[in-house]
Each structure stands twice: as structure tokens, then as C-alpha cells.
A and B are shown apart, each in its own frame.
Chain A
């Protein structure tokens, strides 16, 4: 081509100029671990299911299915979980944590109402697994094992499934039809449940049914006793049996003035139950101060709202008919309560001891490989006991005793039982980079205060076992889901695509496919990284 004077190049687009070679650092898309998922004892992909729920409509079912990949009890969890996810939520630093628990409950309730079910995905393996105990941990394991294609039989000592979800958590926190619906859904997948079958010897139960592996999840149902000198006519009960009898038998006669000894969630549950059974006074006696109470704050708050009285720094010295002798305590320099010798009387028709529970490990007697320490069974990170093929989880192993932890154990055990049955080695989960608050650019999030769930008025809470906390509806559940900052995971806001001065970000077809960096032109300025609201892009040094 004939070129004008002094011109040596063809007229052309600057596209020929690959400015990507200026780069010393490159932008790369990453997925960070959001703090909610990181904190979830049941390993739920919380950001993942909120992302689906953000679409509303069909998104709710997708969101629910994402939860069901880890946790078969969304409706239960949305009521009883103490939600460490919300405690660690990055939005807390912005305004208030996302109401994850309330959205989970909404999804769980939607599923029950619409009859969504889960089918076993894997081909039948022909392997048989025994689960002993139909509590949250056992049922969670059964569910996951069934999904993995194994045949599962659950032996339950009681006359109904649910474990502590049924016998430990009062109905005002967890209506039984909700619990029943979620258990039935697991059973409908083909899990065999045998009630009233107490196993006295785990190995024998395993051999009798020629099972390939066993998961022990018997819980901790024996009340710890403390020696309280008591007169003949004194009425002293334990919290476990009180809650059990309320569920299964005649509610126990507690009288008008009920004293509960202990400071955990169970103590609160019993005191609140006593109120509902007609007690005029329900007093919790605890050795230390409020801030040292093991009960969760929300339980203490709700108990106080319902008129439960607290006596901090006190122990029960003696119980007699109609009255108790209390001793005032003092915290020493280490924070331990020490007796002061100061005594006082408290009128009480009954004393309920809520001093913790122990596991009944009789079924493990005579299995030498299994190590028992402090009344609980030692397990490895794969939930296997010292004996090959025998796994354990829930309240009978060392861990925090909550339903959520138990459900997490069940899943982890199921995965490892499956792995063990296949003869594969244990591999610890790889931890992704945490999406901390500093990795976010919160400018882009709209101001949106949290939606609080309605609560039953206090007058009705004192008299009935109706559920205290209400649920969200379609519109505020959607709003709450959309408060999620999507920490560490792209949510398709187009910022990187729009803010690149070099048009070096390609928006791919289909939002689920996200974006791609065009390294021919990416100069490595880092604007996309700085302006990504959720920290899903990072700068990586180029090898030079």
C-alpha cells in the first residue's frame, strides 16, 4: 500500500497494541471463604444459598437445595440454631448482621409447605450402615449416607425420633409438626427407622444386622447430679426428665414456686417451661455472674422477658419442703466462685437441677480400642473412633453441644464412612482464604437495616407453648437475603466490567459464568480489585 509522506505504518486500530505487556501484577478472580460459612458448625455454604435466594421465586427452591447439600433440617435450624454465622457476619461492621437464621427458616418452611423432597443421588452401593440414635447427628448422618447410595438403618432407644430436638428443646422454640416434617422427609428417602431399640452393645448390634459400618450418636441424656442435702419432703427433679415428661408424658407437678439450679440453655428452657406450666415464680440460681452464664444471650433475654428471675452468685446449700437454703458466692481473682458463708432462705415448691448431661456409653463397654475421656468418646478429625468402622458424633464426643454441631458431625461422619467404605484415605478439607471485612468495598452496598422477626407477646408466652419467634414472609425474606454482601464471591454487579479503563474485562454469556480478564490488554492497574464490592478479585504478581 502506498503510504503518505514519512509514514511507515498502516492505518489501524490500537487493538494491535497489546498493552497487557506493561503489566507487573495481574488481576485474577478468586472465591474466598465467607465468614458465615467459615463459622457454621454444619458447614453450610451460606453465602451460596443466600445468593440463590436473592433471586426470589424459583431461587427459593434452589437456595433450599443448596442448604440440603449439607443440612437436612433447615426449618429446625432456622429456629434453634444459635447462628454463629450471624455473629461473624461482615455486615455487622456495616450496620447489622444479615438475618441468616430467619431466611433459613423461611426456606425451610417453604419447603415443608410446598412439599419439596430430596432423592438419593448416587447409585446404590449395597453397603449397609447402622446409625445408633435418631437425634440431629444420627439423622443427619443417615440422610447423607442415603444420598451417597448406602442402605441405612437407625436404631432409636426412645419411642420417637428427634433426640434432643424433641426431648430437650421445648415446643415454644420448635413446634413438633416442623420437626416431624423434616424427619419424615429423611425417612421417605428410604432410611429405616427402628424405634424402642436400645442398643446395649454396639458391636453386637452391628454384627447382628451384618452392617459394614456404624455411626454412634446416642447423645447425652443422663442428668448430672450434684449433691444437695435434701429433707425427706423436698421435691428435687432433674431438667432432662422434666423436659422429657413435658414432651412424652404428663407434665410434672412443679408447684407455684420453681427454682432451677444451673446457668445453661437447659436451665433457661426449664424455667421458661415452668412458667408456662403455671408457676408464678421461676427463679434461676447460678453460682457466677450473668456474663459468665453458659446460656446463650437470646435465651437469657427471652427468659427475663417472660418473667424468669435470676439469682446470680448463689448456690443451693440445702433443700427442704417449701424452701431452699442458698449461700451467697463471691468471684475470686481467677473468676471462680467461692463460698462466703452468708446464707439466706428462698421459698420453693420444687428444685430442678440443670447442671449438664452425660452420655450413656454402656453400649461401648468391652471395646478396648475405643477411648473414653471425661465421659465422652474420642474421635479423629474423620469422626472415627479408635476402632475401624466405628464412628461417633453429636453430644457423645467432645464438642459444643448444640443441634448445629451435631448436624455437622453427622455430615462429616457420613462423608468419612463413605470414604472408608470405598477404602480411600482421609483428606482434610482445604481452607480457602477468608473473606474478611477489609477485603470488601462496602461503598457499593445500599443502606439496609435488618428485618427483625415478630415475637409473640409476653402475656401469651407466659401461658402457652405457642412458638415465640415468628417467621418472615416472601417480601421481607427476599429483602433480608439481599442484604447479604456476598463476601468473597462474585454476585455479578458488573463493576469490574464497567470500571476497567482498558476494556480488559470480558463479561461472559450467562451470569453464572461471570467475567474473564483479557490479559492482552490488562495493564494491571488494579481498579477492578479495589472496586469489587465483595473482594472476589485479587492482584497477583507477574513472573518477570
Chain B
């Protein structure tokens, strides 16, 4: 659900809440009775986007399921910073098994609940991009294919942050990680084919697929709420900047997420049964350079001799997203199927 215009209201739904808004126009996060599913004292870095994203999603899901919720967690930052045994930041039933099997564990929990006749209890599977788009992809695809009653959430910070910022399948081209150093003829990560997990999910034609960022809270919460109204396999991909891994200021987490969306680098949309039904439009378009510059993982593109060729290729990526999803006002908002979008792709030698 994109931004809502509220009559005569100064911040519309851009801000978290507001004293003048009706309670139902405010976010779950603005409520003092929010569940704080991930509570204080966790060991996430200063300004962690993932900690924020996880609390947003789970608090909204807790509210939608009236507190009857179980989370299965993949290995990764989210697990390590929240649960150094015997301490836990989770304020909901939470289970961790392995790096790659969170979707399967979530499926098992859902199956057990079904067997016990407890369809009032809902299940969430969650992990980072490594656990989702790389290691856990087979389990995830299985969960989709069987249409298991699980909402799977990927918190995408575009590398293996917990183990020391190694490249993942979700790392963007040109980004510096500890395994894609900014050296050589093509510094940083390679321009590969990309691995677009939301589109992979759409290809399974599951009931609901959506993307969101930590910079658009109303939109994110609306999507969680919508996902929770649906039974079957659902997928939510949340863009969560990582100050440490991306070399960005801790205070800039929200700003960078906002720039990712406003530049077209990260398209925010939702799809039902393989068809896009809505996109969050760009409010005031910025060049990708504005998004890249505050992040040291792209620092090698700038400096005295900016690498204009690479910057242009990254801009072309963003432009393709804008065209594909109709992110600007004049673009079509909905109705595109996956195959139509792929037909518009300019994949091939870039």
C-alpha cells in the first residue's frame, strides 16, 4: 500500500505516526502497546537496518495474528545478535535450526500445528539474504511449490554480514565485499545475471509476493497485514541497509533505504499469484549516484577519476527497474505478469 494522502495533514503517512492522526491511520510502531518482538539489549550494530526490519515485520504480524505467532529463523546476523545462548531478545516463540533450512523448519512447524488443529497459530520463516537466496533457496522453493502456510521474510542486506561481509547472490554489481575486493580491472562484485528472489518467488505463482524497505513503514506494515490475511506460501523481501557492511554512517540507514527506492535501485511492489498488483511510486527521483555515494562499498567508483562507465551501468539497472515496474508516475501501476517483465529485460552482455 503506497503513501496515503490525508486531507489537510502535514506529514500524510510519511512519518511513523502523529498526534493529529486517528489511531488506525498510525503505524503499529507508533503504538506504545506494540509487542517489541525484538526487544532492547540485542547486539546488532548501531543503526542496524535488519534489527529494525525484523521488529517492524514481526510486530505487525503479531498484531495481525493477535499474538499467536511462531518464528523460525535461519542462521545469520539476525540469529546471532539476538540470541547468544542463554540470552534472547525475542519476545515470541522462536526456533533456530540451521543456515539453509529455515523455510523447511517453518513448514514443519506449520504442519505440526495443522496436525494439532491449531490453525489460529501462524508461522513466519525468516532469514538474511545469504540464508534465503543462496543457502536456503532449495528449501524455500519447496515451501513455495507445496504452498505451505508460511510467510517467509528475507531481510536483504546484500552480503554475508555475520561472518564478515562476504559476497552473496544478492550482492549488487560493483559492490566491495571482503571476497570481492575493489582491485583489478573490474573492482568489486561482478556484473552477473543477478538473482532476483522476489521474481523467483513470483515464478512459483504463490498467493502473495511483496518487497518493502525500512524507509516506508506504512507500506511495510500494510504488506505484512495483507500477507497475514492470506493462507498458503507468501514471500516478503525487505531491504535493510547494513552500516557496517556497506560502509555507511549508522544514522543514514533509513536515508539509504529511501534513496534505494527513490533511485529505482530497489523496486517496491506487490504481486498476487505471479502478477504485479501494485507498486510504490518514486516520489522524487534521484540518480543512482546519490544512493551509491554515501556507501564506502562503492567508494572505488568515485574519487578523483569517477568510474562513469560502471556508474552508468548501475543507472541502467535502476532505469530498467523503473520501466519494468512503472515506478514513475507515468508508468503503468499494475497488471504485469512475470513473463512480460522478463521479456522487457535487457539481459545479455552488459
> A residues touching B (Cβ–Cβ < 8 Å)?
7, 9-19, 22, 54-55, 443-446, 448, 475, 478-479, 482-486, 491-495, 497-499, 501-504, 507, 511, 518, 520-521, 523-527, 529-531, 533, 539
Contacts and interface: CB of A to CB of B under 8 A. Distances in A.
Q: State which size class the interface on B falls in.
A: 35 or more
Contact of A19 (B36, B40, B217): B40
Given A482-B9, A494-B30, 17 more contacts: A12-B86, A12-B88, A13-B87, A13-B89, A446-B14, A491-B18, A493-B11, A493-B15, A494-B15, A499-B217, A502-B51, A525-B48, A525-B243, A526-B47, A527-B250, A527-B251, A533-B15
Contacts of B47: 501, 523, 525-527
B27 interface: yes
Contacts of A444: 11, 14-15
A527 B18 CA distance: 18
Q: Is the interface of B mostly helix, strand, loop or mixed?
A: loop
B84 to A, nearest CB: 8
Interface string B227-258: 00000000000000001000001111111001
Given A9-B86, A11-B86, A523 B46 contact: yes
A446 B29 contact: no
Given A448-B10, A526-B249, A497 B42 contact: no
A503 B55 contact: yes
Interface string B285-325: 00000000000000000000000000000000000000000
Contacts of B14: 443-446
24 contacts: A10-B86, A11-B87, A14-B42, A16-B87, A19-B41, A443-B14, A444-B14, A445-B11, A446-B9, A446-B11, A475-B8, A482-B10, A483-B10, A491-B19, A492-B18, A494-B17, A494-B30, A498-B27, A518-B40, A525-B46, A526-B251, A527-B251, A527-B253, A530-B251
A415 B283 CA distance: 49
B42 A498 contact: no
A499 B87 contact: no
Contacts of B88: 11-14
Interface in B1-17: 5-6, 8-12, 14-17
Contacts of B139: none
Given A444-B15, A499-B52, A527-B251, A12 B85 contact: no
B54 to A, nearest CB: 9
Contacts of A9: 86-87
Interface in B112-155: none
A10 B27 CA distance: 35
B46 A498 contact: no
Given A444-B14, A491-B19, A493-B18, A15 B86 contact: no
A445 B283 CA distance: 12
Nearest to A10: B86
A9 B39 CA distance: 19
A22 B41 contact: no
A19 B43 contact: yes
A511 B19 contact: yes
Contact of A15 (B5, B17, B41, B51): B41
B181 interface: no
Contacts of A7: 85-86
A292 B286 CA distance: 40
B254 A531 contact: yes
B196 interface: no
B101 interface: no
Given A17-B87, A494-B16, A22 B46 contact: yes
Contacts of A521: 40-41
A498 B86 contact: no
B255 A530 contact: yes
B32 interface: yes
B255 A478 contact: no
B26 interface: yes
Nearest to B82: A14
A448 B91 CA distance: 41
